[in-house]
A and B are shown apart, each in its own frame.
Chain A
Amino acid sequence: MNQNILFLFQHFRGRKNRCYKLAVRSVRRAFVKSTKARKEKKRFLRALWITRIEAASLEHGLKYPAFISNLLKSQVELNRKMIADLAIYEPKTFKSLAALAQRRRQEGFLAALGDGKEPEGIFSRIVHHY
């Protein structure tokens, strides 16, 4: 009977990887912790993605808040998971995203400092899909 669930506590430390009575308590705690950790996992992974995007965008001379806000203003609705994966596996794509964000940032500065007299830049135009 115990052999069926041995895999659940086989990797524990101490007597709880051998003795059933001790293992039962530890396995129950392990299940409870794993249930509660599902919410924290989402927070942890998002923080990890943000750290990775920050590292990659600093390589291209942009800080993370500037990068993300300008990407959203250019209507690029990629989530942090995809941007982090692009930064690792598609560096040239990430470089073009960083250039897009930088260009939109400059257009924002021009619009703010020029009192609206300069025409709006190309990347500042909002495209309505409805």
Chain B
Amino acid sequence: MAVAAPTARAAALAPPLTARRFRFPLPGALPPPARAAMASFTKAAQQWATFARAWYLLDAKMQPPGKIAAVTAVRLEGRHKPIYHALSDCGDHVVIINTRHIAFSGNKWEQKVYSSHTGYPGGFKQVTATQLHMKDPTAIVKLTIYRMLPKNLQRRTLMQRLHLFPDDVIPEDIQKNLVEELPQPRAVPKRLDEYTPEEIAAFPMVWTPLPELDLNSHG
């Protein structure tokens, strides 16, 4: 009696519709994002390869942090893939090295200001880009990328997939994951002392100096 009654009562009280899952799309449903499932058995490997998360390397030496951040944000979101959807979590990992050697154009090292507030009264702090860079060599790139990502709850997750290193040194386990190196967004020009004497001699004369002018004497 004690065993039979609870099951019978439970069966009477249980709502009859829990077992059924309604499959038709509910009103207002959008087409679902492509998910890492649902393909045929023979195409499983192709689907895993399509939706796999890749690790990219980017060298930030002598690069403007804005351009670095633009390329990185696109990769982190997954907008470089034709299968992109905001909900399908298709972004990749990006490892940025040499963030200590980024190059701002113009006078931004002195003029660009990073502001923050501690929350306490009188706690408004303003720091120039130089001071921030001295304090933390990865902070400028990190802030730039953070502000370029979409302002939603996914942003923190995407920032966790970003790996910043001030110098060339990368941990072993990250180095093993790297797949491809991304091309640098800015073509770094050569300094005058980086040209070999043969190249300097081979450079065409763009103007002929007058014979009176003796350019080799410092006078």
Contact = CB atoms under 8 A, between A and B. Distances in A.
A88 interface: yes
A111 to B, nearest CB: 30
A58 interface: yes
Contact count band on B: 10 to 19
A55 interface: yes
B27 A41 contact: no
Contacts of A34: 27-28
B17 A3 contact: yes
B78 to A, nearest CB: 9
B79 interface: yes
Interface stretch (A4-12, A65-73, A101-109, A113-121): A4-12
Nearest to A37: B28
Contacts of A87: 82
Nearest to A48: B85
Contacts of A48: 84-85
A6 B19 CA distance: 13
A55 B17 contact: no
B22 A7 contact: yes
Contacts of B27: 30-31, 34
Contacts of A20: none
Contact of B79 (A6, A31, A51): A51
A41 B81 CA distance: 22
Contacts of B28: 30, 33-34, 37
Contacts of B15: 6
B26 interface: yes
A3 B16 contact: yes
Contacts of A23: none
B81 to A, nearest CB: 6
B80 interface: yes
A33 B30 CA distance: 13
Interface string A38-53: 0001001100100111
27 contacts: A3-B16, A3-B17, A6-B15, A6-B17, A7-B17, A8-B26, A10-B17, A10-B22, A30-B28, A34-B27, A34-B28, A37-B28, A41-B30, A44-B30, A45-B30, A45-B31, A48-B84, A51-B79, A52-B82, A52-B83, A52-B84, A54-B79, A55-B81, A55-B84, A56-B82, A88-B82, A88-B83
Interface of B: 15-17, 22, 26-28, 30-31, 79-85
